[in-house]
Amino acid sequence: MTTDDPKQRIMKLRTEIERHNRLYYIDAAPEITDREYDALLQSLDELEKRFPEFASATSPTQRVGGAPLDRFENVQHAVPMMSLSNTYSKEELVEFDRRIRRLIPEETFDYILEPKIDGVAISLRYEDGELVRAVTRGDGATGDDVTSNVRTINSIPLRLSDLMPPAVLEVRGEIYMDTAGFAKLNEERQEAGQEPFANPRNACAGSLKLLDPREVAKRPLDAIFYATGQLDGIAFDTHEQMLQTLKGYGLRITPNYWLNDTIEEILDQLDALEALRHEFPFEMDGGVIKVNERRLYEDLGYTAKSPRWAVAYKYEPEQAETTLHAISIQVGRTGVLTPVAELEPVQLAGTTVKRATLHNEDEIRRKDIKVGDRVIIEKAGEIIPAVVNVVKEKRTGAETEFRMPTACPVCGSEVEKREGEVALRCINLQCPAQVKSWLTHFASRGAMDINGLGESLVEQLVDGGLVKNPAELYALQKIEVLGLERMGEKSAENLIKGIEESKKRPFEKVLFGLGIRHVGKGAASILAKEFKNIDALMAADIQRLETIHDIGPIVGKSVVEYFVSDQARGVLNQLREAGVNFEQAQAGGSNELEGLTFVLTGSMESMSREEAGDKIQARGGKVSGSVSKKTSYLVAGESAGSKLAKAEKLGVTILSEEQLLALLGSDEKLKDQKAGQLGFEF
């Protein structure tokens, strides 16, 4: 076969994409940018459509299925999917150790400790290396077949990374949602008037139960694996060996685990692990202790529900009791009225908490929350404080019922509850609270990245009548902003300069900044690539939008509703007249930074970090948020913090802002630069 053989090209692309998936999700060492990855995926998709005879269910393009399911099939586990016994007591862990040593007095063994992830248990079945089924725990004997939903999780390989995989490999693990993704999902749900999830675990469970895989694909789900079920053609001597083998196959395992030969060392490590509790990107609610030597499992045996060679130790929930003094109302960017608990300040998870979300009126009624109550609060997803219940036995009779307002507390306009939603909304699009949230969103780093335009300044601009929508920012004059509080000559110049520079932001960032309901960064990027300019997007109908991969009817409806709005069209016309970019940049550009990974830290004088990142990526480089041995360069601006110290410790080359500018301005390939030309070595 020649390189022009379509089958060979398709197979080569699949292998390359799977390799990059592994580098990104398993090794945390990506070699290409998201843009380059998307281009590879698009090339493969186009080839597979041209040559359907080479279709494969395990192709990276086939993660999201077509039509929604009617129901989930209930299937039997080949090996029962047992749960672990739980304890909050270290004394019970000591007894666990004594019991094991009584059962196998002549044996020597190690314990292995892993972080306990608070997610949803899942079992994956691979046959000859291909994913054929994903099943929930259910009752341990049978569970729901959620294969079509699990296939949408990008970190789960559809095919194992091995030329000679076992005939059967069943792996067990946890579907989870990281805390940042959970917070963003709940924010989007509240803005859409939907009920927020109570915690990441509930969000995962709800996501896996969705009948439409296209909707599941939009949820920030991930997975970690830590056990096996049925095996054919493979065996493991130790639990650690099993973990490393799974990692070699391209399955994500826990980022840390510890081996110790005494329970006392395990107890010490549990304390150390608890101190790291908030360092993990997911809900970590304890540790799992297992005997490492798998040959001993049969001798140790099982109870009716759980193995005797493993136990889960759970940390106490991070909760605090305080008094709810009042309930205030926040009005969001899309007009949603959110009740907020005003609390007696209390320490929780290392911070002082004064406010907590109450989500909506239905939630207040369900929990029977009254003003004056003693309440229990906790960090939902370790991010957002929430009121979880009321201490009713401490009621005095002086507590009062709360009623949501019948008018917007900010502008006095009528409020409404839309069909199918739980939230009340202010219907006045010119409501100052909505305008402030809209402007803050528009100026944020993920959108137009207007340096210096934060909440405080936005509040002054709106309250002073200077700005009523994002387009009016571009008409601001220096003399107008000079009169604002804490605004000097230099600050005013920088603000006007930042606003002017934002006109050149990529189309996808402008689109995200418009604040269209349900259109996050991902959807904005997809729409920008699909339609290329604002006029083509405005002309699209709901049927056209629904056909786009990862868009679907909910986003499509929001986009259409936005563009038929007279107010939205007026703002768009103003933005266009101001010179804001409404076209997608053509693919291309130089690749002199290809293969290099940059981390940016500290403040920069000539541009924002976001802008510097865009320039690096436009030249083929990769921008990462964390320093590792794979980092090529750390760019250190003013007030560089812990990332600089870590880079120095790892021996990563440090660039100043001036060196980065010189590098970005070079027309030569990076490899042709002479050593020391910019004051550093290659």
How many C-beta atoms lie closer than 10 Å to residue 587's C-beta? 8
Instruction: Give tens-digit pLDDT for 325-348.
Output: 999 999 988 889 999 999 999 988
| pLDDT given at position 67 | 61
- Is the pLDDT at 24 greater than 80? The verdict is no
| pLDDT given at position 675 | 30
- Residue 65 banded pLDDT, cuts 50, 70, 90: low
What the block records as the tokens of 296 is 């001993």
| pLDDT given at position 553 | 83
- Residue 678 banded pLDDT, cuts 50, 70, 90: very low
* Statement: the pTM of the whole predicted model exceeds 0.75: no
- Is the pLDDT at 321 greater than 90? The verdict is yes
Mean pLDDT of 164-181: 93
- Residue 682 banded pLDDT, cuts 50, 70, 90: very low
- Is the pLDDT at 473 greater than 50? The verdict is yes
Q: Are 292 and 259 in contact (CB under 8 A)?
A: yes
| pLDDT given at position 347 | 82
- Residue 221 banded pLDDT, cuts 50, 70, 90: very high
Give the residue numbers of the binding site for NAD(+). Answer: 34-38, 83-84, 114, 137, 174, 290, 314
Sheet order of strands, 633-636 included: 622-624, 597-601, 633-636, 653-655
Active site residues: 116
Mean pLDDT of 598-619: 81
| pLDDT given at position 350 | 65
* Of residues 414, 505, 510, 418, the one with CA closest to residue 470: 510
Mean pLDDT of 30-49: 81
72-88 burial, b for 16+ CB within 10 Å, e for fewer? Answer: beebebbeebbebeebe
| pLDDT given at position 383 | 56
| pLDDT given at position 301 | 93
Q: What's the CA gap between 104 and 86, in Å, rounded?
A: 22
| pLDDT given at position 667 | 39
Mean pLDDT of 453-472: 93
- Chain-centre distance of CA 397, in angstroms? 43
| pLDDT given at position 523 | 87
| pLDDT given at position 290 | 97
Residues linked to residue 131 through DSSP beta bridges, in sequence order: 126
Lowest mean pLDDT of 58-72, 248-262, 570-584, 658-672, name the range. Answer: 658-672
Average pLDDT of every residue of the chain:
87
Beta strands 310-314 and 319-331, pairing class: unpaired
- 501's CB contacts (< 8 A; 6+ apart) are 611
Residues linked to residue 289 through DSSP beta bridges, in sequence order: 113, 311
Instruction: Give tens-digit pLDDT for 521-542.
Output: 888 988 998 899 999 999 999 9
> In a 10 Å sphere around its CB, with 0-12 CB exposed, 13-18 middle and 19+ buried, how is residue 436 labelled?
buried
- Residue 4 banded pLDDT, cuts 50, 70, 90: low
Q: Percent of the chain having pLDDT more than 70?
A: 94
Q: Which amino acid is at 507?
A: F
Mean pLDDT of 446-471: 92
- Residue 671 banded pLDDT, cuts 50, 70, 90: very low
Kindly list the structural domains of the chain, giving each domain's residue range(s) and its CATH number in brackets, ordered by start.
6-62 (1.10.287.610), 86-314 (3.30.470.30), 319-410 (2.40.50.140), 432-578 (1.10.150.20), 597-672 (3.40.50.10190)
- Is the pLDDT at 319 greater than 80? The verdict is yes
3-state DSSP of 242-298? HHHHHHHCCCCCCCCCEEECCHHHHHHHHHHHHHCHHHCCCCEEEEEEEECEHHHHH
Q: What's the CA gap between 220 and 185, in Å, rounded?
A: 8
- 385's CB contacts (< 8 A; 6+ apart) are 348, 353, 355, 356, 357, 377, 378, 379
Give the residue numbers of the binding site. Answer: 34-38, 83-84, 114, 137, 174, 290, 314, 408, 411, 426, 431
- Residue 285 banded pLDDT, cuts 50, 70, 90: confident
Is the torsion defined by CA of 177, 183, 185, 189 positive or negative?
A: positive
Give the residue numbers of the binding site for Zn(2+). Answer: 408, 411, 426, 431
Reduced to 3 states (helix: H, G, I; strand: E, B; else coil), residue 218 is: coil
Lowest mean pLDDT of 172-186, 368-382, 430-444, 618-632, name the range. Answer: 618-632
- Is the pLDDT at 666 greater than 50? The verdict is no
Alpha carbon separation from 47 to 40, 41, 195, 549 (Å, rounded)? 11, 10, 41, 17
Is the torsion defined by CA of 95, 100, 102, 106 positive or negative?
A: negative
The residue with greater pLDDT, 666 or 315, is 315
| pLDDT given at position 582 | 95
| pLDDT given at position 670 | 38
Q: Are 490 and 468 in contact (CB under 8 A)?
A: no
- Is the pLDDT at 43 greater than 90? The verdict is no
Alpha carbon separation from 414 to 209, 355, 426, 431 (Å, rounded)? 36, 26, 6, 11
| pLDDT given at position 564 | 92
| pLDDT given at position 28 | 65
Lowest mean pLDDT of 223-227, 317-321, 617-621, name the range. Answer: 617-621
| pLDDT given at position 1 | 40
Lowest mean pLDDT of 186-195, 249-258, 499-508, name the range. Answer: 186-195
- Is the pLDDT at 257 greater than 90? The verdict is yes
| pLDDT given at position 477 | 93
Q: What's the CA gap between 332 and 190, in Å, rounded?
A: 9
Q: What's the CA gap between 566 and 24, in Å, rounded?
A: 43
- Residue 669 banded pLDDT, cuts 50, 70, 90: very low
